[in-house]
Structure 1
Amino acid sequence: MIDLNSDLGEGFGVWRLGDDTALLDVVTSANVACGFHAGDPSTMRRVCREAAERGVAVGAQVSYRDLAGFGRRFIDVDPLELADEVLYQVGALDACARATGTAVTYVKPHGALYNAAVHHEAQARAVVDGVRAFGGLPVLGLPGSRLLAAAEAAGLRAVPEAFADRGYTPEGTLVPRKDPGALLTDTAAVVDRALRLAEAGELVAVDGTVLKTDAASLCLHGDTPGAVEHARAVRDSLTSAGVDLVAFAPPIRP
């Protein structure tokens, strides 16, 4: 049994990124941009409505305040300010979700904030403080990260995830996007990654190192080349292998 999640709602105004509607037919959880790295109120509400119609769980994908950089630039934010900005983003998305008959059921950082929270103790705690202030939702993050450790220490459910289309270092972190091997673009390779994770609890790093993982959710990025084709192939292969696809934080109707 495993969850499939994807980053959605990452357009802004008239600009669209990825095919939200197609991916919502595939995934079990939607990480919806909350307006800081992408997204706007209309996009947030639309994606929440489409998720609710399909029974897909809605998660808040919180970020640094970095529209110009798509949230992929580290910002040395004061932890108190960062906690408040996380709270703000979760609350904004939850309002949109509730207006469409669903609610936010988990939180996942985006981009540079996600990567910073792997090792940056103060920012990891700040993200958790913001989540806890909202009401104690599960936190989705990289196994072994400071983020998940802080979530557990705060009494929140810490949910480890893996990536179907990102390269891994031998230490179990993500290869930086600027480096070779950062992205898997071949559908067969993405499917092999997903099957090995679901069936054996293993990932293979760029140097061939086999990494053991207890990931409960598999991320399929919506902005990579061939994203929809990758996602459909992964879902078909997993279901054919007898793997149940279930949201780790099921959708609710408030």
Structure 2
Amino acid sequence: MITSIDINADLGEGARDDALIMPLISSCSVACGGHYGSEYTILQTVKLAMANGVKVGAHPSFPDKVNFGRKKMSLSPSELKSTLSLQLNSFIKVCNGLGVSLNHVKPHGALYNFAAIDEATSKILVASIMETGLEPVLYAPKNSVLSCVAKDYLPVAFEAFVDRRYTDDLQLVSRTLNDAVISSPIQAFEQLMSICAEQKVRTISGKTKDLEAHTFCVHSDNPNALEILNLIYEELTRLQIHIK
């Protein structure tokens, strides 16, 4: 029987509803300057999380604000390592100043998707995290290259997406395709409960696949993010499931 669930959102990305979203979630991944943000936006978002009792995580990405970190960049290993270290250290500096712990790290966008399948990128990401001297949880898809690379070095929480469609091989459907994003609050809640309660997801082709997850994400830049999260909060409350 499910008694609690971790709902996370990617915040500090310039969306207008951060202050309304924060009370509806239990952990947030904060943009730290790669695809969006600055030390100021990190500071404001972490303060907002603290006020709502929400765990905070770093959300590093390819350094590409023009494309919001959603296009793969061809960086050398040293270039990727440098930008990841810069982003993580900027985030940790703010956390230290506020006396808040870094709960997790979750790569963003194209970095998340590429690290999930590329060993070299995964190793650079894990090494960058380890060099901070901290041991945050790494949010990653189950059975991904990233989760396999990280498992001997960091705690790993498998992540699933409430507002994204999956392919038959359990990759996220490309945002360039129709129906990649789930905008219906009811459909998003149904997908959440299917994965959470049954460890199953219905793919875009209509097949049912096994999918295990420990944390569930709603994207703050989804136009219906607030409506989705409000429905999730209301329904989980009705079912006496605590957003932990």
Q: Identify whether the pair has TM-score above 0.5, normalized to the shorter chain.
A: yes
In the alignment, structure 1 residue 87 sits paired with structure 2 residue 85 = yes
Query: How do residues 182-193 of structure 1 correspond to structure 2 at under 5 angstroms?
Result: 182-193=180-191
CA–CA separation in structure 2 for the residues paired with 1:21 and 1:204: 32
Q: Which runs of 5+ in 1 are unaligned?
A: 12-16, 247-254
SS of match in other structure, 1:119? coil
* 8 Å CA contact retained: 1:52, 1:101: no
Across the two proteins, how many residue pairs are aligned to each other? 240
Match of 1:128 in 2: 126
Query: Match of 1:167, SS?
Result: coil
Identity of aligned residues (%): 30
The one-letter amino acid of 2:197's match is E
Q: Is the 1:26–1:231 Cα contact (8 Å) retained in structure 2? A: yes
Residue 222 of structure 1 is matched in structure 2 by: 220
SS for the counterpart of 1:2 is strand
Q: What CA deviation, in whole Å up to 9, does each residue of 1:26-54 have, x standing for no partner? A: 11001000011001111110000010111
Q: Which residue of 2 aligns with 1:114?
A: 112
Unaligned runs of 5+ in 2: none
**Residue equivalent to 1:2:** 5
More deviation, 134-143/169-178: 134-143
- Structure-1 separation of matches of 2:25 and 2:234: 11
Query: Shift of the alpha carbon at 1:152?
Result: 0.7
Post-superposition CA distance 1:53-74 (Å, at most 9, x none): 1110000000011011100110
Instruction: Report the TM-score when normalising by structure 1.
Output: 0.91
Q: Counterparts of 2:51 and 2:99 in 1: how far apart (Å)? A: 9
The yes-or-no answer on 1:38 pairing with 2:41 is no
CA distance in 1, matches of 2:121, 2:11: 24
Counterpart-to-counterpart distance in 2, 1:211 and 1:240: 27
Shift of 1:202: 1.6
Q: Is contact 2:196-2:212 (8 Å) kept?
A: no
Please state whether the residue corresponding to 2:219 is helix, strand or coil. Answer: coil
Q: CA deviation at 1:103?
A: 2.5
1:34 and 1:114 mapped to 2: Cα distance? Answer: 15
Who is 1:196 aligned against?
194
Q: Cα deviation per residue 1:152-172 (whole Å; 9 max; x = unaligned)?
A: 13x211111110100100111
- CA–CA separation in structure 2 for the residues paired with 1:98 and 1:172: 37
What CA distance in whole angstroms lies between the structure 2 residues aligned with 1:100 and 1:30? 16
> Does the 8 A contact of 1:49 with 1:97 survive in 2?
no
- What's 1:78 paired with? 76
- TM-fit CA distance, 1:218: 0.3
Root mean square deviation of aligned Cα: 1.3
How far apart, CA to CA, are the structure 2 residues paired with 1:22 and 1:150?
36
Name the CA distance, whole Å, in 2 between partners of 1:91 and 1:82.
14
> Could you tell me how far 1:206 is from its partner in structure 2?
0.5
Amino acid at match of 2:151: E
1:251 maps to none
How far apart, CA to CA, are the structure 1 residues paired with 2:211 and 2:78?
32
SS in 1 for 2:213: coil
What is the letter of the counterpart of residue 141 of structure 2? L
Identify the residue that residue 148 of structure 1 maps to in structure 2. 147
CA distance in 1, matches of 2:147, 2:155: 8
2:231 to 230, 233, 236: 233
Q: Distance in 1 between matches of 2:172 and 2:183?
A: 15
Task: Say whether the 8 Å CA contact 1:86–1:130 is kept in structure 2.
Answer: yes
After superposition, what is the alpha-carbon deviation per residue over 1:198-229, rounded to whole angstroms, capped at 9, x for unaligned?
22122111111112222000001100111111
The letter of the residue matching 1:102 is V
CA distance in 2, matches of 1:181, 1:196: 18
If the length of structure 2 is used for normalisation, what is the TM-score?
0.94
